[in-house]
Amino acid sequence: MNPRRQATGCAGLTLATLSTSLFADEGGVSFWLPGNYGSFAAAPSEPGWALPVIYYHGPASAAGDKTFVRGGRLRAGLNARADFLFVAPTYTFASPVAGGQAAVTVAGALGRVKAGVDATLTAPGGAVLSGSESDSRTGLSDLYPTATLKWNRGVHNTMVYAAADVPVGAYDPARLANIGINHLALDAGGGYTYFDERSGTELSAVIGFTYNFENHDTSYRNGVDAHLDWAASHFFSPTFHAGLVGYAYHQLTGDSGTGATLGDFKSKVWGIGPQAGWFFQVGEKKWYLNLKGYHEFNAQNRPHGWNAWLTLALPLTEVKP
């Protein structure tokens, strides 16, 4: 494994271990955070420990004529901003599993969420309210365990993954801003990376599906979600690559439960933007830094805006000669 492949394996590890949400599903935002996977998503990595660190910034809004169920109430219009610092300690096994490379991750974050609405239309008991409301919150997120299995055949790399949400993060059904989602969610899928070291061309795509359990505090259950993350880049030097990233998120089945007062409330959104990555040497280890951003469009029944990700991959295990 030459230095570039070692580095891209580290990058794939970093960009493929994060799975989270920003608000409860009934707020118009899913458990799955679109853009979770990026370049080298299916590329194998060096065995041992690594520590991906990800900073996420995402403003989003919805017009005043758009309503969402949040905290058991109908909210008209929504403006939100999220800032999260994720850490995702990951262990990659040296011994093959089913002919591939297995890895496990448990990710979590410290974050701050600010949210505001233009009006509150109805409250529990049938009271009608109007005006504006805002809330902010800083705290710890849910935990997000993920397992991956990857195979390499020359320039072709494939992977399968399974992820979950363990609802232990900061959540209060009476508040507008929440960090945890207060319900279990399971997600699984597969991906592919084409990486030709001679031409410097890289293409990656990952598709997955989310199954959501009920939020018992609000009697709300989100439907089944489908999501596609993709990336394309070119190496302009042995250590620098740049290109495009994108995603498509579509809810396949409607929301349900007595709290789903807006009906099935299926949502969707697309995103696209630039990315750049840089590999650099720190002692005997090769680190990786990636910056990517998305502009969202074609949104339905969810806030939309733009988001940026700054990712740093820190390998912790010495690579044997």
DSSP element (H, E) containing 10: helix 3-15
User: Residue 301 CA to chain centroid, in angstroms?
Assistant: 19
In order along its 321 residues, the chain shows pLDDT tens digits of 343 454 455 555 544 444 333 333 455 557 899 999 999 999 999 899 999 999 999 998 776 556 556 555 555 567 789 999 999 999 999 999 999 999 999 999 999 999 877 665 554 444 444 567 788 999 999 999 999 999 999 999 999 999 999 999 999 888 888 898 999 999 999 999 999 999 999 999 999 999 999 999 989 899 999 999 999 999 999 999 999 999 999 999 998 988 877 778 788 999 999 999 999 999 888 899 999 999 999 988 888 899 999 999 999 987 654
Q: What is the pLDDT of residue 61?
A: 77
Strands (DSSP E) contained in the chain are: 48-70, 73-87, 90-92, 101-117, 119-122, 133-140, 144-153, 156-165, 185-196, 201-212, 225-237, 240-251, 268-282, 285-300, 304-315
Residue 139 domain-assigned?
yes
CATH of the domain at 179: 2.40.160.40
Q: What is the pLDDT of residue 71?
A: 55
* Residue 195 buriedness (CB in 10 A; 0-12 / 13-18 / 19+): buried
Residue 181 domain-assigned?
yes
Q: What is the pLDDT of residue 11?
A: 53
Residue 320 domain-assigned?
no
Residue 321 domain-assigned?
no
Q: What's the whole-model pTM score?
A: 0.86
Domains: count for the chain:
1
Cβ 34 vs Cβ 201: under 8 Å = no
Cβ 32 vs Cβ 208: under 8 Å = yes
Please give the Cα distance from 125 to 72 (Å, whole number): 11
Chain segment 69-86, per-residue pLDDT in tens: 655 555 556 778 999 999
Residue 160 domain-assigned?
yes
Q: What is the pLDDT of residue 95?
A: 96
Please give the Cα distance from 212 to 216 (Å, whole number): 12
Q: Determine the structural domain holding residue 216 and report its residue range.
A: 3-315
User: Residue 271 CA to chain centroid, in angstroms?
Assistant: 13
